[in-house]
A and B are shown apart, each in its own frame.
Chain A
Amino acid sequence: MTQYIVLSAILFTIGCVGVLTRRNAIVVFMCVELMLNACNLAFVAFARQHGNLDGQITAFFVMVVAAAEVVIGLAIIMTIFRTRRSASVDDASLLKY
C-alpha cells in the first residue's frame, strides 16, 4: 500500500516540477497529465484499501475530464503554434497588467 502512495507522490512531484520549469507547452501538458494520473493512482490505491468503489469511479471521472482537456488543450496549442510559430508558454504572455 505505502509503495503505491509513494509512487503516486513521486509522480505528482515530477509532474508539478515539470509544469513549473518547462517552457514547451506540449511538455507542460504532459506533466499535467502526469499529475492527473498520479492522483488516479492514489484514488485507486485508497479505494482498494477501503474496499469500496468510490475511488475507482472518481478515477474514471478524472480520465474523462483529462481526455476532454487534452482535446481542447491540444487544439489551443495548435492554434497558438500556427499563429506564432512557437510552443513556448512564456511567449504567450500578452494578457497581463
Chain B
Amino acid sequence: MNLLSHSALAVGMPMAEEGAHAPVVAPDMGAGGVFDLLWLVIALPVLGAVILLGVAPFLPPALRAAVDKHGHLLGTAMSVLSFVLSTVLFVALLGRDAEARQVGQQLWTWFETGSLTVGMDLLYDPLAALFLLLITGVGSLIHVYAIGYMEHDPRRRRFFGYLNLFVAAMLTLILSANFVGLFLGWEGVGLASYLLIGFWQHKPSAAAAAKKAFVINRVGDIGLSLAIALMFATFGTTDFGAVSELAGEADQGTLNALGLLLLLGACGKSAQVPLQAWLLDAMEGPTPVSALIHAATMVTAGVYLVVRSNFIYELTPVAQTAVVVVATVTLLWGAILGCAKDDIKKALAGSTMSQIGYMMLAAGLGPAGYPYAIFHLLTHGFFKANMFLGAGSVMHGMDDDVDMRHYGALRTAMPVTFLTFAMGYLAIIGFPGFSGFWSKDRIIETALAENLVVGLLALLGAGITAFYMTRLMLMTFFTSKRWEKGVHPHESPKVMTVPLIVLAALSVLGGVLLLGDWIKTWLEPVTGTVEHHEPPLPAIVITLIITAVVAIGVAAAWFLVGRRDIPREAPQDVSFATRAARADLYGDAINDAVVVRPGAGLVGGLATFDRRGVDGAVEGGSLAVGGLSSTLRRVQNGFVRSYALSLLGGALLVVLALLAGNLR
C-alpha cells in the first residue's frame, strides 16, 4: 500500500500531542481536474532536455543541424509551457478552500523493498505553488534572455538542454511528496549546476569551479542522505505526510539529529557557512546560469528544505537555533565579501549569500518567520535575477569584462540596463516601497521580536547591503569612465532587455504579495498558525530605524566610493579587513587547513601504509620464499655422487624411523 494514501486516510485523526505542532501534510489524492496534469509541469522541461541532450546527437546530420539552430526555441518553449501550466494550477489552487489546498498525485511506485515503499508521488500545496511560479516564471525569462546572451556560442543547443534539465530537477525537488523524491531533484540540481558552471569547460577556472561546487555540494548531500536514512530507520517512511504525523512521537535526540543533518544539506545547496566557498567561484558559468542558480533554483533549495521540514524543526529547538546561527553568520559573511569584490558578478554572489542568509534566518525563527522567508525568497528571486541579467547585459556591452574598476558612467550608454538594474538595486537595499523593503523589513522585525542580538545583526547586515550595493551601482553606472581601450558599450538586444524590464517590474511590485498579509494566510496550511511575539518597538519605529540604517549605508558608499576617483587597479596597501574580504574571508584557506590538508595527509598516510605495510608484507613474503628457494636450488648441483649421498641419508633416516617405531 502506498504510504501517501496511508497518510491521507489519517486525516482527521487526533494528533498525538497538543501545543506547537506543525500541520500534518495530508494531500487530497483525488482532486482531479487540472491537478491531474501536475506531472506535466516536470515532464515538459524533461522532454526538452531529453530531446536537446539525448536525442539530438543521434539524429542524421541535416536534422541535427536544424535542432542545433532552433533548439533554444524548443527549450524556451518547454519552460514557458511549464510556466503557463503552473499558473493554471495556481489559479485552480486559489479556487479551493484553505483546508483543501494540498493536492497530491501518485504516479507510480518507485521502489519497494521489504516493508519500505517509496512512491513517485507529487505534492502540490501553497508552498510548492509559489516555488513553481518562481522557478518556471523567472526560469522562462532567463531562457529568453539566454537566447540573446548565448547567440554566438557554438554549443547553444546543449546549453538550453542543460537549462531545461536544471529547471526539471528543481521542479522535481519542489513537487516531490517524499524526501527520497526530493533527494532525486536535489542531486539533479547538483548535476545540472555542475554541467552549467563548467559549461565553458575549455577554461580551467570554469572546470575547477564546477568541480568545487560539485564536491562541496556532496558534503551537504551527505547530511541530507543521512537524514533520509535516519527517517527510514525511525519512521519507516520518508513521506512528508507520514513523517509530519509521526514526528511528534520520535525522541528528542533523533529529532535534533534530523534537524541538524537537514541543515547540513541546506547549507551545501544554499551556500551557507561553512559550505559557502563554492558560490563565488560558480560565477565562472555563463551569466544566465548565475541568474538561474541565484534566483530561481539551486540556492533556494536549502530554504525550501528547511521550510518544508517545518514539522521537524518545530520539535527541535537545538536545530532551530543552529539554523539561526548559521544564517546570521552567513548574512554578515556574504555582505562583507560583497564590499570588497571588484568583479561585478562576485559582488552580486556575495549579496546572494547574504540574502539567502536572511531567508534562512527567517526560516529558523519558526512559524512566525516561514512566510517571510518564502516572501523574501520570491522578491529576491525577482531582483537578483534582474541584477544578474543586468550584469550580464553590462558584460555583453563591455566585451565580457567583469571588473567594475573598468566600468563607470554606463548609465547613458545602456539606459535600459541601467534603469532596470536600478530597480533591482533599490529593491535589494530596501528602498521604501520596493519589494525588498517589505520582505527584509518583515524578517528583521521578526528577528528582533524573537532575539534582540540576531535582530540587530540582521539590521547591521541591511546597512552593509546598502553600502556594497551602492558601491556596485556607483562603480558601474556613475563616476567617471574607466573603460578599457577599444570598448564601446552598447545597449543589449531586445531579447535581453525585455526580460530585464519584466523582472524590474516584478522587483518593484513584488511587495503586493504582502497586501493584507496575503502570503501569511496563503502559507498557513503549510507552516501552521503563528504564535505571536511582540517586537520590542512598534513596527513603524523599526521600519524607520531600518530605513535610517540603509540610508547610512548608502551615504557611506557615496563618501567612500562615489566622491573619489576610483583607481583602475585595485589598491594593494589596504587594511587587513579588506584583504581578508578580498580573499573570501579566507574561506578557501580554512577549508584547505581544516579539510583538504588533513584529508590529504590521511590519504598520504594510508597510501604509505599500503605501500610499506600491506605491500611490504606481501612482497616481503614472496621475496623470502624466493630467496630461500634460490638458496635451496644450489642443492641440485649435478653431481651424481652427492645425490647418492642424499639418497643414502634418506634411506638411513627411513630405517631409523622404522626401527624407532618398532622399538616403541
Contacts and interface: CB of A to CB of B under 8 A. Distances in A.
Given A89-B641, A90-B641, A20 B648 contact: yes
B644 A96 contact: no
A2 interface: no
Given A97-B633, A97-B634, A20 B639 contact: no
B305 to A, nearest CB: 73
B638 A94 contact: yes
Interface of A: 16, 19-21, 23, 28, 89-90, 92-97
B636 A97 contact: yes
B637 interface: yes
A90 B639 contact: yes
A93 B636 CA distance: 10
Contact of B640 (A16, A21, A92): A92
Contacts of B641: 19-21, 23, 28, 89-90
B645 interface: yes
A89 B640 contact: yes
B644 A20 contact: yes
Contact of A93 (B633, B637, B644): B637
A92 B643 CA distance: 13
A28 to B, nearest CB: 8
B638 A96 contact: yes
Nearest to B635: A97
Interface in B607-642: 633-634, 636-641
Nearest to A22: B641
Contacts of A93: 637-640
B640 to A, nearest CB: 5
Contact of B645 (A20, A23, A95): A20
Q: What range describes how many residues of B lie at the interface?
A: 10 to 19
Nearest to B641: A20
Contacts of A21: 641
Contacts of B633: 97
Nearest to B647: A19
Interface of chain A, main secondary structure:
loop
Contacts of B637: 93, 96-97
Nearest to B632: A97
Contacts of A96: 636-638
Contacts of B638: 92-97
Nearest to A19: B644
A76 B636 CA distance: 21
A18 B7 CA distance: 102
Contacts of B640: 28, 89-90, 92-93
12 contacts: A19-B644, A20-B641, A20-B648, A21-B641, A92-B638, A93-B638, A93-B639, A93-B640, A96-B637, A97-B634, A97-B637, A97-B638
B433 to A, nearest CB: 100
B652 to A, nearest CB: 10
Given A90-B640, A94-B638, 15 more contacts: A16-B648, A19-B644, A20-B641, A20-B644, A20-B645, A21-B641, A23-B641, A89-B639, A89-B641, A92-B638, A93-B637, A93-B638, A93-B640, A95-B638, A96-B636
Contacts of A90: 639-641
Contacts of B634: 97
B635 to A, nearest CB: 8
A92 B648 CA distance: 21
B373 to A, nearest CB: 83
A93 to B, nearest CB: 3
A90 B641 CA distance: 8
A96 B645 CA distance: 16
A30 B515 CA distance: 126
Nearest to A93: B638
B607 to A, nearest CB: 39
A97 B640 CA distance: 13
Contacts of A16: 648
A20 B636 CA distance: 16
- The 9 A-B pairs of least Cβ separation, nearest first, read A96-B638, A93-B638, A97-B633, A89-B640, A97-B636, A93-B639, A96-B636, A96-B637, A19-B644
A28 B636 CA distance: 20
Which among B633, B634, B639, B641 has the greatest number of chain A C-beta atoms within 10 A? B641
A91 to B, nearest CB: 10
B643 to A, nearest CB: 10
A97 B641 CA distance: 16
A42 to B, nearest CB: 14
A23 B641 CA distance: 8
A21 B642 CA distance: 10
A20 to B, nearest CB: 6
Nearest to B639: A93
B646 to A, nearest CB: 11
A96 B639 CA distance: 8
Contacts of B636: 96-97
A95 B640 CA distance: 10
Nearest to B645: A20
Interface string B533-569: 0000000000000000000000000000000000000
Contacts of A28: 640-641
A12 to B, nearest CB: 11
Nearest to A23: B641
Nearest to A90: B639
Contacts of B645: 20
A28 B276 CA distance: 92
Nearest to B637: A96
A39 to B, nearest CB: 12
A92 to B, nearest CB: 7
A49 to B, nearest CB: 19
A26 B250 CA distance: 99
A89 B648 CA distance: 17
A93 B637 CA distance: 7
Contacts of A20: 641, 644-645, 648
Nearest to B640: A89
Interface string B638-664: 111100110010000000000000000
Nearest to B630: A97
A21 B639 CA distance: 12
A20 B644 CA distance: 7
